[in-house]
A and B are shown apart, each in its own frame.
Chain A
Amino acid sequence: MHINELMQFLLTGLTLGGIYALIALGFVTIYTVTGHINFTQGEFVMLGALITASMVKGGTGLWAAIIASILLVGLFGALFERAVIYPARNSPVVTVIIITIGFSVAVRGVALLIWGTQSYPLPSFSSGEPLYVLGATMNKQSVWVLCLSLLAVSLLFAFFERTVMGKALKACAINRVAARLMGISPQRMSLFCFTLSAMLGALAGIVITPTTTATYDMGLMLGLKGFVAAVLGGLTSTTGAVLGGFLLGILEAMGAGLISSGYKDAISFLILLLVLLKRPEGLLGKPDGKRV
């Protein structure tokens, strides 16, 4: 096998990984701050993609459509939190998980009614020749995916490290009661997390659409992949989520390239099983470590 080929898989993997990382960050942000696992995350991805594609089809400029779509999905995330999660805030964790699964099915159903089963394309963000990196090709959209996801991740990290709101979110994740005693409202933090995660998901869906097109059911698989990436990273660490995303993307691309592309999805679920069985604390987590 050629080194070029490996390089090609690596690049493909990184591109996929960027998308998984964005979705995984949504899972992790919500989980650490509220303790809930939000399986509606994938639907945020789908909504972001379909709304952008429809708007562009309707004549809106690409970037305007992207920004509008991210904002709309953010709003949707906020409404979802208020209407569905907030009323169930005192229910057991499992109940809330089931609620999010149920809600995701409902959202998918509504999307099917609105958009039908056909797939919606989106033009590449910029045209031009693909780039050549160490003998492998990387089309312009992959560069966009990688750059935009890295940008979003850096902004998110800066937000957590530098702003009071970010620190308040961390405080809430570390010790909810103590955070309340400092005047930090867990409910407001929860609302914020769902909005933020919805926007991250939407971004992931938008950047992947020029390559894959958008369909009403794309959220299911992408959401699950993001979840696998989050679990891989330990579910409580933002750094872990990003690394988990890239690792999953690379493993998938390698597996698809070296074995068969038919095994692409199976690989990630095999990884999920292995991690859950052998290292439930994730690759970064300390064994037996408490939840942060």
Chain B
Amino acid sequence: MLEVKNLHTRHGWNYALKGVSFRVPASHLVAVVGANGAGKSTLLGTVAGIYSCSEGEVLLEGLPIQRMPAEKIVRQGVCLVPEHRQIFDSLTVEDNLLLGAYPRWGGNRREIKTDMDYILTIFPALSDRLQDPAGGLSGGMQQMLAIGRGLMSKPKVLLLDEPSLGLAPLLVKEIFKTLDDLKKLGTTILLVEQNARAAMQVADRVYVMDHGQIVLEGSPEDLKKDHRMQQAYLGKGYMRPVREDSCEDYAVPKVLI
């Protein structure tokens, strides 16, 4: 569905991405995990067209999209739910969701209404707050709204940048449960996370990123066994022990691999 080939992106003169390649098959959830500053947001931003790459390709169903501006890439079916949610805080929850459907405005209004009702069944908590300003929602609700807004564009691939950021463990669990549901419903998701443990519980395939490069890849099962992964990201050894089913946010140490 989505294929990233040898992607290079710089901020000024610093390469934040140095040749990243991976693929996201249809109806799969692929996770890219990595420490602070590894280049995860830059990766999603480049795929979504906010940053332009200096080299490499992004193919959506074979169509190169790396030269398109962000507003056009959404129309091709790649929607980014950005870091820190970035909802329109002074607009109402309903307006935020409606704007998610902006790319297909002018089309069938009833369809958009139906889609909104559908998204409200995924995030029922939002239904009571439709007329409230989005900025007044709690962090968890804002994240749900950001994902809901992204889904309103009916993307072929949904890009998620750190949905667990700043959320309490219970909420993280809830959000990831929803991601799992979405995947089972056939949504293709590319997830970027620092919270490696939570990401590995829902991902079909995991890529580990460090300093702008993919340093490890595999299925979550394989990676859980990998000693480098255990040391650096899953906290065996020098991180405090955590219950197996917990989704607690890990402070991921930098480098190490």
Bound complex: CA of A182 vs CA of B105, how far in Å?
A: 11
Which residues on B sit within 8 Å (CB–CB) of A170? 88, 90-91
Bound complex: CA of A180 vs CA of B71, how far in Å?
A: 5
Q: C-beta contact mask, A73-104 vs B, less than 8 Å → 1, else 0?
A: 00000000000000000000000000000000
Contact A171 B99 (CB under 8 A): yes
Contact B88 A184 (CB under 8 A): no
Q: Does any Cβ of B come within 8 Å of A168's Cβ?
A: yes
Given contacts A181-B80, A182-B153, contact A174 B88 (CB under 8 A): yes
Contact B99 A175 (CB under 8 A): no
Which residues on B sit within 8 Å (CB–CB) of A186? 71
Bound complex: CA of A164 vs CA of B79, how far in Å?
A: 19
Contact A174 B48 (CB under 8 A): no
Q: C-beta contact mask, A174-194 vs B, less than 8 Å → 1, else 0?
A: 110111111111100000000
B residues neighboring A (CB under 8 Å): 48-50, 69-72, 74-75, 79-80, 82, 86-91, 95, 98-100, 102-103, 105, 149, 153
Q: List 26 A-B contacts (CB under 8 A).
A: A167-B99, A170-B88, A170-B90, A170-B91, A171-B88, A171-B99, A174-B88, A174-B89, A174-B90, A177-B50, A177-B70, A178-B82, A178-B87, A178-B88, A180-B70, A181-B48, A181-B70, A181-B79, A181-B80, A181-B82, A182-B99, A182-B100, A182-B102, A183-B75, A183-B103, A292-B90
Given contacts A180-B69, A183-B153, contact A164 B50 (CB under 8 A): no
A174-B88, A181-B82, A183-B72 provided; 11 other pairs, C-beta below 8 A? A167-B99, A168-B102, A177-B70, A178-B82, A178-B86, A178-B87, A180-B69, A181-B50, A183-B74, A183-B153, A184-B99
Given contacts A178-B88, A181-B48, A181-B50, contact A167 B95 (CB under 8 A): yes
For the complex, would chain A's binding face be called helix, strand, loop or mixed by DSSP majority? helix
Q: How large is the interface on A (under 10, 10 to 19, 20 to 34, 35 or more residues)?
A: 10 to 19
Minimum C-beta distance from B86 to chain A (A)? 4
Q: Which 3 A-B pairs have the closest CB atoms?
A: A183-B103, A183-B74, A178-B86
Q: Which residue of B lies closest to A174 (CB)?
A: B88
